[in-house]
């Protein structure tokens, strides 16, 4: 009996050892398997910093910090030669940037850089700018106040009617629907400020769109060419002059004595 049990015990022990062995074997298998699954996991983890670096760089092109006007002032020094140090250009062929929204300025610089909006001077100016530079410069000019321009009184009435009401008989929408009644635009929608802009620049821009120029082919860039095609030379002259004389609410009293 004791022998049997002694004989039995080794058998139990044996099976226990076998079980332990089996367990440890499965642990080994598990350990064996773990590095195998862990290796790719580790590789993925190891690869993450490497792959997020370009992703972050690419992401930086989209999700940059909001513009810093102080940093932008230094970066905008080169722009002042044409656009004026405070964004109020004195030469009417160069658009005023003072008070223009950061979003719109960034979009235009991006379009110049990509040659969607074609201008040899601005291609050269926009090419070295990073997306962050564009935001900073945009924030700087956005913080400035546009100096009031002067409208030709003979054109004001026609210009104002078109700006405020459009002309439904010719399918011309009211400009203020997008650019707002005082011409301050809508930054979120990237509808630019028109207020106080040089009539000469407005006229050249509307005429270029009328004649087939586009600033890219996305839906946003199609809006103005479609509208400008419906404007004749007299409409463009009247609107351009009216827009130059448009002043934002705070300067309005001085503008309409
Ligand atoms: C040598 C003159 C010159 C310099 C310097 C210059 N620009 Fe321009 N810029 C122009 C001209 C000309 C246009 C109008 C282009 C067109 O008609 O499409 C323009 C247009 C723009 C516009 C579009 C404005 C609008 O209302 O649509 C922006 C934004 C702009 N410039 C930003 C800049 C910035 C930022 C700098 C400096 C980094 C700069 N420019 C330097 C000549 C210049
Ligand atoms: C449906 C909205 C919409 C309406 C209506 C509209 N605009 Fe615009 N306008 C835009 C957008 C969007 C841009 C910017 C285009 C781009 O970035 O490609 C723009 C740009 C402009 C610019 C260029 C400003 C600059 O600084 O370069 C002028 C000038 C202009 N519009 C004049 C007008 C006039 C005049 C009317 C009325 C006849 C008008 N717009 C009606 C949306 C509109």
pLDDT in tens, 21-63: 444 444 444 444 444 444 444 443 433 343 434 444 444 445 6
What is the phi-psi region of residue 17: left when phi exceeds 0, alpha when psi lies from -120 to 50, beta otherwise?
alpha
Q: Is the pLDDT confidence value at 192 over 60? A: yes
Task: Say how far apart CA 130 and CA 71 lie, in whole Å.
Answer: 13
Q: Which residue owns the Cα nearest ligand 2 atom 31?
A: 224
Distance 192 CA to ligand 2 centre (A): 7
Supply φ then ψ for residue 76, to 5 degrees: -90, -5
CB 193 within 8 A of CB 100: yes
Nearest ligand to residue 209 Cα: 2
Which ligand lies nearest the alpha carbon of 190?
A: 2
**How many angstroms from the chain centroid is the CA of residue 205?**
21
Q: How many CB atoms lie within 10 A of CB 62?
A: 7
Look at residue 155 and tell me whether its pLDDT is greater than 80. Answer: yes
Q: What would the mean pLDDT of 87-116 be, rounded to a whole number? A: 98
Query: For residue 62, what pLDDT is reported?
Result: 53
Distance 43 CA to ligand 2 centre (A): 51
Structure tokens at 161: 């009617």
Report the C-alpha gap between 77 and 5 in whole angstroms.
98
Q: Residue 41 corresponds to which tokens in the numbers above? A: 């996991």
Q: What is the pLDDT at residue 27?
A: 41
Could you report the per-residue pLDDT of 95-104, keeping only the tens digit for each?
999 999 999 9
What confidence tens digit (pLDDT) does each residue in 132-141 have? 999 999 999 9
Residue nearest to atom 12 of ligand 1 (CA): 94
Instruction: Tell how far the Cα of 137 is from the centroid of ligand 1, in angstroms.
Output: 12
Identify the pLDDT of residue 30.
Answer: 41
Give the pLDDT confidence score for residue 191 in this predicted structure. 98
Tokens 């008070």, residue? 99
pLDDT value at 7 more than 60: no
Q: What integer pLDDT is reported at residue 63 of this predicted model?
A: 66
Share of the chain above pLDDT 70, in %: 72
| Nearest ligand by distance to the CA of 236 | 2
**Which of 212-217's residues contact partners 24+ apart within 8 Å by CB, and which partners?**
213/118, 215/108, 215/111, 215/116, 215/117, 216/111, 216/114, 216/116, 216/117, 217/116
The whole-number pLDDT of residue 184 equals 95
Over residues 244-254, the mean pLDDT reads 63
Residue to substitute in 113, 138, 178 for testing ligand 2 pocket (most ligand atoms within 8 angstroms of CB)? 178
State residue 257's pLDDT score.
Answer: 36
Do 199 and 241 form a contact (C-beta atoms < 8 A)?
A: yes
């Amino acid at each position: 009996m004791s022998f049997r049990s002694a004989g039995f015990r080794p058998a139990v022990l044996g099976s226990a050892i076998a079980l332990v062995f089996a367990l440890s074997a499965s642990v080994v298998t598990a350990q064996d398997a773990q590095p195998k699954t862990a290796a790719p996991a580790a590789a993925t983890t190891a690869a993450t910093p490497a792959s997020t670096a370009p992703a972050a760089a690419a992401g930086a092109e989209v999700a940059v910090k909001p513009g810093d006007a102080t940093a932008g002032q230094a970066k905008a020094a080169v722009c002042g030669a044409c656009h004026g140090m405070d964004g109020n250009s004195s030469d009417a062929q160069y658009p005023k940037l003072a008070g223009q929204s950061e979003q719109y300025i960034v979009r235009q610089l991006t379009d110049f850089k990509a040659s969607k909006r074609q201008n040899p001077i601005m291609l050269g100016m926009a090419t070295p700018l990073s997306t962050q530079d564009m935001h900073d410069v945009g924030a700087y000019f956005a913080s400035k106040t546009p100096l009031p321009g002067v409208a030709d009184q003979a054109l004001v009435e026609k210009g104002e009617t078109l700006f405020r009401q459009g002309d439904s008989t010719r399918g011309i929408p009211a400009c203020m629907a997008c650019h707002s009644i005082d011409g301050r635009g809508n930054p979120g929608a990237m509808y630019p400020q028109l207020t106080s802009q040089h009539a000469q620049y407005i006229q050249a821009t509307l005429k270029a769109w009328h004649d087939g120029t586009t600033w890219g082919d996305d839906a946003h860039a199609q809006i103005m060419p479609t509208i400008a095609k419906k404007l004749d030379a007299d409409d463009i002259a009247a609107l351009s002059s009216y827009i130059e004389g448009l002043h934002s609410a705070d300067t309005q009293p001085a503008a309409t004595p």
